[in-house]
Amino acid sequence: MGRRRGVELYRAPFPLYALRVDPKTGLLIAAGGGGAAKTGIKNGVHFLQLEQINGCLSASLLHSHDTETRATMNLALAGDILAAGQDARCQLLRFQVHQQKSNKAEKSSSKEQGPRQRKGAAPAEKKPAAEAHREGVELKVKNLEAVQTDFSTEPLQKVVRFNHDNTLLATGGTDGHVRVWKVPSLEKVLDFKAHEGEIGDLALGPDGKLVTVGWDLKASVWQKGQLVTQLHWQENGPTSSSSTPYRYQACRFGQVPDQPGGLRLFTVQIPHKRLRQPPPCYLTAWDSSSYLPLRTRSCGHEVISCLSVSESGTFLGLGTVTGSVAIYIAFSLQRLYYVKEAHGIVVTDVAFLPEKGCGPELLGPHETALFSVAVDSRCQLHLLPSRRSVPVWLLLLMCVGLIIVTILLLQSAFPGFL
């Protein structure tokens, strides 16, 4: 078997930091940029159309949204609204996809663009109306409200998440505060100090609880700004006898398959300090009611940079600082897929293809699909082939056959056995 490799779907003209997939439209949304430095590297949000062509999943640029001097470092998606973390602020964007009515003018325009331009989008600066066209598809992006979300001496929004019904979003940054905002007005409804130092990640549960992880080595559960409990992993985990301090790198809620309404919390723990011989990183599944650890497993010695949970809660996706990408099964935390140094540089975000909406049609015969982006400006596709399973009736038939063969062998070896 050859070395497993990811498929390069798209290469952007700037470093990519954030990634989301819209289940309704089948759009892959990738964002990043070079920031405010005058290096000539642009900043933007790219909308890519996913489609099956000759049995292969492909992506083509549908629209490029210019974010001027601000690079988008994190994204959250709620319907047709994007929340983009840009420097110390959160910018809301609304995108709309329409099917154009065909007419002679459009046909003439299509001929002038040529076959190459028909599949892609013109540069954003050439489209003052902030719209792009592809085979009768029209996409418009509109800037909504924006608000400053971090107030440290070097302010930076690190994470943004919508709640379960998309009426609120929570932000965290380098000042250690969690701030909760109404959508889409961005009126602040809650502000509390969650960590000493920056917040690394946060997750919102449907019961109103909020989990945060920070550089102070703590992971905390909050309800309306009040501390409910803290997660205790290292005290009773596999590193309890080790002097190496660990910190929580990422946290995500995921559904429990075959349990309607059931939830699990997943966290990633990494060594707080870089060592010459790095100790392993760990994945942990937590009970979402008691917040006690259910299962912990080592996920290798590469430092984990990002975590994603599939829509059904069946799979976990991981990216590493050395560019590797892996898929784990959530129930047992066993690794199913791994590509070493798929990007060759830090993986900044991973996202699964949704399992509803356009997802099944795009997925084809595979069990799941994971997208990854990195500072190398590339978006890659990682497909997990369907695992072959043996039907129960065949297993029972094989067991009966084995018993019959065993009896016959014993009868031949020991006449009169029966």
What SS3 class is residue 257?
A: coil
CA end-to-end span of the chain, whole Å? 48
pLDDT score of 407: 76
pLDDT at 135: 58
User: What CATH number matches the domain at 7-99+137-413, 3.40.50.620, 2.130.10.10, 1.10.340.30, 3.20.20.70?
Assistant: 2.130.10.10
pLDDT for the residue 131? 43
Percent composition of the chain: helix, strand, coil (DSSP 3-state, to 5): 10, 50, 40
Nearest CA to 33 out of 4, 3, 64 is that of: 64
pLDDT of res. 3: 59
pLDDT by position in tens, the chain (length 418): 445 778 999 999 999 999 999 999 999 999 999 998 777 899 999 999 999 998 899 999 999 999 999 999 999 999 999 999 999 999 999 999 987 665 544 444 444 444 443 334 334 343 433 444 455 788 999 999 999 999 999 999 999 999 999 999 999 999 999 999 999 999 999 999 999 999 999 999 988 999 999 999 999 999 999 999 999 987 767 776 677 889 999 999 999 988 888 899 999 999 988 777 889 999 999 999 999 999 999 999 999 999 999 999 999 999 999 999 999 999 999 999 999 999 989 999 999 999 998 999 999 899 999 999 999 999 999 999 886 555 666 677 888 888 888 877 777 777 766 6
Look up residue 325 and give its two tokens: 């990408």
* All residues at 6 or more sequence positions from 33 whose CB lies less than 8 Å from its CB, including other chains: 14, 15, 17, 41, 42, 43, 44, 67, 70, 71, 72
Full-model pTM: 0.84
399 CB-near residues (< 8 Å, 6+ apart): none
Q: Show me where the domains of the chain are located.
A: 7-99+137-413
Checking phi first, is residue 258 left (phi over 0); if not, alpha (psi -120 to 50) or beta?
left
DSSP string over 140-159: EEEEEEEEE---SSS--EEE
